Amino acid sequence: MPSNRPFLLEFEKPLAEVEQKLNQIRDLAEESGADFSKEIQNLEAKAQSLRHEIFTSLTPTQQLQVARHPARPSTLDYIQAISDEWFELHGDRGGFDDPAVVGGVARFNGQPVVMLGQQKGRDTKDNIARNFGMASPGGYRKAIRLMEHADRFNMPILTFIDTPAAWAGIEAEQFGQGEAIAHNLREMFKFEVPIICTVIGEGGSGGALGIGVGDRVIMLEHSVYSVAPPEACAAILWRDAGKASQAAEALKITAPDLKQLNIIDEILPEPLGGAHANPVQSTEILKAALIRSLGEVAAMTPKARKDARYQKFRNIGVFQEMTASA
């Protein structure tokens, strides 16, 4: 059924039908001058109830679809919305300027900071230009150049994660993809300035972790974070990418799962319907959380910050085996 929404996920279609009917009655009431207030009120209540029912019971696969929604706010959307001033910087000083990674200096809440993250496209043409947010080695070298600049001039670092994975092409390996990501991981543990990392959409594999070592790791409610995209995981384990839904269940990619595993520190609620349904409200929620987190981390001494950051990531993956008697 046609809808005024630019893009619909399959599970959103029943809600879109109600919203379309609601819009039709509103238009009819405006044109005819008749009183349809009761019908409008009933449909508004039905739409709200359906929206709540859908978005509070999403499966991991549906969460992934929301995280990949083409209208979901991107890194540049958030940076430009939350910063008072923003100046983008380009290049890795090695001959490359990867458009899949954006970053620069900004003024956030009255304070100079460096902001950076992966940038997906809004349509097919833009996605091709941005390589679908999958960074090359040059992208990670650009990121670490900006973060070193931040550390040198005592500016906090805010990173925004939104990538299915790092670029896995032959040229990426030839130019040292693994080394570039590993170098970032090592150096981010050394920085003395506060680092706040936010998963705003899809956080996949080492591509996400290459800018994901922080004092605080935050996730938006409908974002995902995993060791590999479910399609890749299914292709590796079962030689069948069609089993991606099964892989998504097993990978524990949702924010509640990752909070329970102590991989992330905080889950930020999204507007009902997802961040793409109300980008302004989503931006306000994110900005408030970043101000709060930055204040907490900035209150620590540089040594305490580095020690806590190191210990935070050392603790990931620690588990206990329970005996049958226990």
Q: What is the pLDDT of residues 180-217, one digit of tens each?
A: 999 999 999 999 999 999 999 999 888 999 999 999 99
Residue 196, helix vs strand vs coil: strand
> H or E segment at 104?
strand 101-108
Residue 293, helix vs strand vs coil: helix
Rounded mean pLDDT, 109-131: 94
Q: 29 pLDDT exceeds 80? A: no
Q: 73 pLDDT exceeds 80? A: yes
| Global pTM value | 0.88
Residue 100, helix vs strand vs coil: coil
> What is the reported pLDDT for 1?
31
**Per-residue pLDDT band at 5 (split at 50, 70, 90):** low
Q: Is 181 exposed, middle or buried (0-12, 13-18, 19+ CB in 10 A)?
A: buried
Q: Is 157 exposed, middle or buried (0-12, 13-18, 19+ CB in 10 A)?
A: buried
Angle of the 244-251 helix axis to the 60-67 helix axis, nearest 10 = 100
Rounded mean pLDDT, 242-254: 91
Tokens standing for residue 233: 């995981």
Supply the mean pLDDT for the chain. 90
**Per-residue pLDDT band at 4 (split at 50, 70, 90):** very low
String of b and e for 205-220 (b: at least 16 CB within 10 Å)?
A: bbbbbbbbbbbbbbbb
| Distance, CA of 267 to CA of 258 (rounded, Å) | 9
| Distance, CA of 113 to CA of 110 (rounded, Å) | 9
| Domain ranges within the chain, ordered by starting residue | 10-57, 64-314
Relative to beta strand 101-108, strand 85-88 is antiparallel
CATH, range 64-314: 3.90.226.10
**Per-residue pLDDT band at 63 (split at 50, 70, 90):** very high
Tell me the torsion sign for CA atoms 270, 47, 29, 36: negative
